[in-house]
Amino acid sequence: MVGPAVKRETVAHLRAVMGLSERRACCIVAVDRTTVRYVAKRQADATLREKLRELANARRRFGYRRLFVLLRQEGERSGKNRIYRLYRGEGLTVRKRRARRRAVGTRATILAEAKPNARWVSGLRA
């Protein structure tokens, strides 16, 4: 499987080197002419990436969903899938909390010494 970008380059190559028409070159490569003429209109991600990084550093416990809400409140119109793609692309993740330290070893019950007139404490109080 070859992507549309490679097919565009192939058509451009055929037209430049062999002097073919666009129609004939597209027919040889088996690509639609509208695909060849397509020009991407994607917005620049640089400012959005910077804003996302800034918010993520300010609020380290926020994931991409909550950052998406904050960006929406600031007027950003991008969808959450795009925010997720940029979030992952920047290598951002929610910081993991450190685990609580556990006691090492097994716990042993304290044995009461059995002797005459010893007081045994029970769960019920009188």
What is the per-residue pLDDT across 75-115, written as a single tens digit (0 to 9) for each?
A: 999 999 999 999 999 999 988 888 888 877 777 776 767 77
Q: What pTM did the predictor assign?
A: 0.53
Of residues 118 and 72, more confidence is placed in 72
33 and 50, same structural domain?
Answer: no
Q: How far apart are the first and last CA of the chain?
A: 83
Residue 4: pLDDT over 90 = yes
85 and 56, same structural domain?
Answer: yes
Read off the pLDDT of residues 34-78 as tens digits, 9 standing for 90 and up: 999 999 888 889 999 999 999 999 999 999 999 999 999 999 999
Query: How confident is the model at residue 121, as a pLDDT?
Result: 65
Query: How confident is the model at residue 77, as a pLDDT?
Result: 92
Whether 117 is covered by a domain: the verdict is no
Number of domains making up the chain: 2
CA angle 89, 95, 97 (to 5 degrees): 160
Of residues 124 and 119, more confidence is placed in 119
Question: For residue 75, what are the CA distances in angstroms to 41, 46, 61, 70, 98?
Answer: 20, 16, 22, 9, 35
Whether 99 is covered by a domain: the verdict is no
27 and 61, same structural domain?
Answer: no
Domain that holds residue 33: 4-37
Residue 126: pLDDT over 70 = no
Average pLDDT in the 15-42 region?
95
Question: For residue 58, what are the CA distances in angstroms to 51, 87, 88, 91?
Answer: 11, 14, 17, 16
Reported confidence tier of residue 119, pLDDT bands at 50, 70, 90: confident
Using the 8-state DSSP alphabet, how is residue 29 labeled?
H
53 and 84, same structural domain?
Answer: yes
Query: How confident is the model at residue 123, as a pLDDT?
Result: 56
Whether 125 is covered by a domain: the verdict is no
Whether 70 is covered by a domain: the verdict is yes
33 and 68, same structural domain?
Answer: no
Question: For residue 106, what are the CA distances in angstroms to 20, 102, 103?
Answer: 82, 11, 8
